[in-house]
Amino acid sequence: MSEQHPATGAEDTSAPVGASPDAAVEPVDAAPRRGMSRRAVLGTVGAAAGVAAVGAGGFAAGRATADPLQRHAYDFFGTHQSGIVTPQQDRLHFAAFDLTTDSRARVISLLRKWTEAAATLMTGSELGSGAAGGAYAAPPDDTGEALGLPASGLTITFGFGPGLFDDRFGLADRRPAQLIDLPKFSGDTLDERYVGGDLCIQACADDPQVAVHAIRNLSRIAFGDAAIRWTQLGFGRTSSTTRAQDTPRNFMGFKDGTANLRAEDVDLVDEHVWASADDGEEWMAGGSYLVARRIRILAENWDRTSLQQQESDVGRTKGSGAPLSGGSEFTEPDFTVTGRDGEPLIRPDSHVALAHPSANGGARMLRRGYNFTDGADDLGRLDAGLFFLAYVRDPATQFVPIQNALSSHDVMTIEYLRTTGSALFAIPPGVPAGATLGSDGGAFVGEALFA
Ligand SMILES: C=CC1=C(C)c2cc3[nH]c(cc4nc(cc5[nH]c(cc1n2)c(C)c5CCC(=O)O)C(CCC(=O)O)=C4C)c(C)c3C=C
Ligand SMILES: [Fe+2]
């Protein structure tokens, strides 16, 4: 049963472990640990500085980043996986994997090991016997670069790509209709190095080393069964997923995420984000679909564009993020307001006008993207932009039409953006609280798919 958080009204579906709403600011020794705390191992923290556990479903919204020591830990367990409505962390390491095994049993075994490891990592504990505590003659169970670091709000979210449903694993008839093959959109300049994947892992944290450590160790566990196909690092969030968080800025310098769906919008999140058994595949109930698009921003061109043109292309002011129709950041845009010349103050071909629910049959999405920068191209231009991540209940109706409109009419998209990567994943529901984990028959993410 889910509960409502008394302060935010957010649905607490992830069964916080002994946590009060203040848990993230007043650390409690709450989470039943799997493995040894990485900080306790070094003797750097005493009992008073144990890891605070907070539910990932928006619980203790916004407080997750308030703890300068980043000791907060989200609960792995819940109706939904963590890392979706969890207050968005500042850092990302995302990885898409190819399955290299043809064995269904090996896939199940991998998901069991991944699930157990993720639950351990999210508490800020070392894997197995740790980085320096195992047999001297064997490689350590944990690679060690997070030793001494706290949980740092780590969330780990697993996804299944179309390849899991090909003819290798006997799952073809369980593929959800919502897991479509994304079409090629007008203007896409996809680089095969950033496309697709049979599985994915989104690791978010407030410390990049913790997010990278998670992906590295999970990929190490997958050795022989799955191999990394592509990855993306994100250095700063471009959305907020709770009302308590400030709106961050994207690489174009604009506030991004103002009109995003948030954890507190429980009814809207139910309607637009969480899959239901009525959607066709019962095993997906409580899950979602993740659209991942690596979008390069042609910064050199954008930076030579006047402020007036930039604002007009976006449909909002650069300073406050208010819609050009007036008001302040969170004022609803009014597309009917015209200027002295009789033209709409928010241009119909601006980004906001084209992406707004009123232009898309009411479609909404929960955006969870990150700024990225990956060096430079042959011409000395930054390969930087926005790694667009969005969670939706049905990509065909909530993403494809909006992307088509942006690709065809959005001046900002056409002039300044180049999409170089693209993938879609089914995100199974969470592992229920109280489930027993372990490589020997334990519960695992996506278990109902294999039942
Ligand atoms: C297909 C969906 C979208 C893609 C791809 C996308 C890329 C993209 N967006 C920005 C910057 C901003 N987007 C803003 C709002 C906004 N964008 C989308 C969808 C996509 N964006 C939606 C649904 C919305 C909300 C529209 C609304 O309801 O008003 C904004 C305004 C602030 C905000 O509400 O977040 C900015 C700025 C970039 C830079 C980008 C790709 C690089
Ligand atoms: Fe946008």
Per-residue model confidence (pLDDT) at position 79: 98
Per-residue model confidence (pLDDT) at position 6: 32
Sign of the CA dihedral with 275 first, then 279, 280, and 285 last? positive
The β-bridge relationship of strands 73-74 and 53-54 is: parallel
Residue 325 CB contacts under 8 Å (≥ 6 apart), including other chains: 331, 333, 334, 335, 337, 345, 346
The closest alpha carbon to 79, from 284, 367, 369, belongs to 284
Per-residue model confidence (pLDDT) at position 68: 65
Per-residue model confidence (pLDDT) at position 11: 39
Q: What does the mean pLDDT of the chain come to?
A: 89
Per-residue model confidence (pLDDT) at position 218: 98
Task: Give, rounded to a whole angstrom, the gap between the first and last alpha carbons of the chain.
Answer: 23
- For 228, the 3-state DSSP assignment is strand
The C-alpha atoms of residue 427 and residue 432 are separated, in whole angstroms, by: 15
pLDDT in tens, 249-285: 999 999 999 999 999 999 999 999 999 999 999 999 9
Using CA positions, which residue lies closest to atom 6 of ligand 1?
388
- For 41, the 3-state DSSP assignment is helix
Per-residue model confidence (pLDDT) at position 52: 58
Atom of ligand 1 nearest to the CA of 403: 1
The C-alpha atoms of residue 449 and residue 111 are separated, in whole angstroms, by: 12
Per-residue model confidence (pLDDT) at position 25: 27
The C-alpha atoms of residue 427 and residue 433 are separated, in whole angstroms, by: 18
Query: Are 413 and 419 in contact, with CB atoms under 8 Å apart?
Result: no
The C-alpha atoms of residue 4 and residue 384 are separated, in whole angstroms, by: 39
DSSP-derived secondary structure letter, 210: H
Q: Give, for ligand 1, the residue of 350, 352, 410 to mutate: max count of ligand atoms closer than 8 Å to Cβ.
A: 352
223 Cα to the center of ligand 1, angstroms: 37
Using CA positions, which residue lies closest to atom 1 of ligand 1?
403
Query: Are 98 and 109 in contact, with CB atoms under 8 Å apart?
Result: no
Domain parsing of the chain, residue ranges: 3-297+426-450
Compute, in degrees rounded to 10, the torsion defined by CA atoms 309, 314, 315, 318.
Answer: -80
pLDDT in tens, 162-220: 999 999 999 999 999 999 999 999 989 999 999 999 999 999 999 999 999 999 999 99
Bridge partners of 230, per DSSP, are 96
Q: Amino acid identity, residue 25?
A: V
DSSP-derived secondary structure letter, 270: H
Ligand nearest to the CA of 313: 1
ipTM entry: 0.99
Ligand nearest to the CA of 365: 1
pLDDT at 393 over 60: yes
Per-residue model confidence (pLDDT) at position 149: 96
Ligand nearest to the CA of 417: 1
- Is the C-beta atom of 369 inside 6 A of ligand 1? no
pLDDT in tens, 356-372: 999 999 999 999 999 99
pLDDT in tens, 319-339: 999 999 999 999 999 999 999
In angstroms, the Cα distances linking 90 to 84, 234, 285 are 14, 8, 28
The closest alpha carbon to 120, from 442, 449, 450, 344, belongs to 442
Per-residue model confidence (pLDDT) at position 16: 31
- Is the C-beta atom of 258 inside 6 A of ligand 1? yes
pLDDT in tens, 93-138: 999 999 999 999 999 999 999 999 999 999 999 999 999 999 999 9
- Is the C-beta atom of 194 inside 6 A of ligand 1? no
Burial of 308 (0-12, 13-18, 19+ CB in 10 A): exposed
Per-residue model confidence (pLDDT) at position 57: 45
Q: Produce one character per residue of 426-438: b if its CB has 16 or more CB atoms within 10 Å, e if not.
A: bbbbbbebeeebe
The C-alpha atoms of residue 41 and residue 90 are separated, in whole angstroms, by: 26
Q: Give, for ligand 1, the residue of 311, 367, 392 to mutate: max count of ligand atoms closer than 8 Å to Cβ.
A: 367
The C-alpha atoms of residue 305 and residue 393 are separated, in whole angstroms, by: 36
- Is the C-beta atom of 261 inside 6 A of ligand 1? no
- Is the C-beta atom of 322 inside 6 A of ligand 1? no
Ligand nearest to the CA of 406: 1
**Model confidence band, residue 5 (pLDDT cutoffs 50, 70, 90):** very low
Average pLDDT over residues 129-154: 97
Query: Are 233 and 214 in contact, with CB atoms under 8 Å apart?
Result: no
What is the chain's alpha carbon radius of gyration, rounded to the nearest angstrom? 22
State the DSSP string of 240-267: -SSTTSPP-B-TTSSB--TT---TT-HH
pLDDT at 29 over 50: no
Tell me the CB-side half-sphere exposure of residue 189, using CA atoms within 13 A: 9
pLDDT at 346 over 70: yes
CA 415 to chain centre: 27
Using CA positions, which residue lies closest to atom 19 of ligand 1?
355
The C-alpha atoms of residue 379 and residue 364 are separated, in whole angstroms, by: 38
The C-alpha atoms of residue 437 and residue 198 are separated, in whole angstroms, by: 23
- Is the C-beta atom of 257 inside 6 A of ligand 1? yes
Q: What percent of the chain has pLDDT over 70?
A: 86
45 Cα to the center of ligand 1, angstroms: 42
Atom of ligand 1 nearest to the CA of 365: 23
pTM for this predicted structure = 0.91
Q: What percent of the chain has pLDDT over 90?
A: 84
Count of C-beta atoms within a 10 Å radius of residue 118: 29
| Comparison of pLDDT for 302 and 32, the residue scoring more | 302
Q: Give, for ligand 1, the residue of 88, 351, 360 to mutate: max count of ligand atoms closer than 8 Å to Cβ.
A: 351
259 Cα to the center of ligand 2, angstroms: 10
- Is the C-beta atom of 353 inside 6 A of ligand 1? no
The C-alpha atoms of residue 129 and residue 240 are separated, in whole angstroms, by: 37
Q: Give, for ligand 1, the residue of 256, 307, 334, 419 to mutate: max count of ligand atoms closer than 8 Å to Cβ.
A: 256
The closest alpha carbon to 153, from 260, 49, 75, belongs to 75
Per-residue model confidence (pLDDT) at position 67: 62
- Is the C-beta atom of 245 inside 6 A of ligand 1? no
Average pLDDT over residues 20-27: 29
pLDDT at 30 over 70: no
Among 23-27, 50-54, 415-419, where is mean pLDDT lowest? 23-27
Q: Which residue intervals of 222-350 are DSSP H helices? A: 266-272, 299-302, 307-314
352 Cα to the center of ligand 1, angstroms: 7
Per-residue model confidence (pLDDT) at position 34: 65
- Is the C-beta atom of 159 inside 6 A of ligand 1? no
The closest alpha carbon to 87, from 188, 3, 173, 8, belongs to 8
Residue 432 CB contacts under 8 Å (≥ 6 apart), including other chains: 77, 78, 79, 443
Ligand nearest to the CA of 354: 1
Query: Are 56 and 15 in contact, with CB atoms under 8 Å apart?
Result: no
206 Cα to the center of ligand 2, angstroms: 23
Per-residue model confidence (pLDDT) at position 190: 98
Q: What are phi and psi of 402, to 5 degrees?
A: -70, -45
Per-residue model confidence (pLDDT) at position 54: 61
Ligand nearest to the CA of 250: 1
Q: How many helices (DSSP H) and strands (DSSP E) are in the chain?
A: 10, 14
- Is the C-beta atom of 293 inside 6 A of ligand 1? yes
Per-residue model confidence (pLDDT) at position 37: 86
113 Cα to the center of ligand 1, angstroms: 36
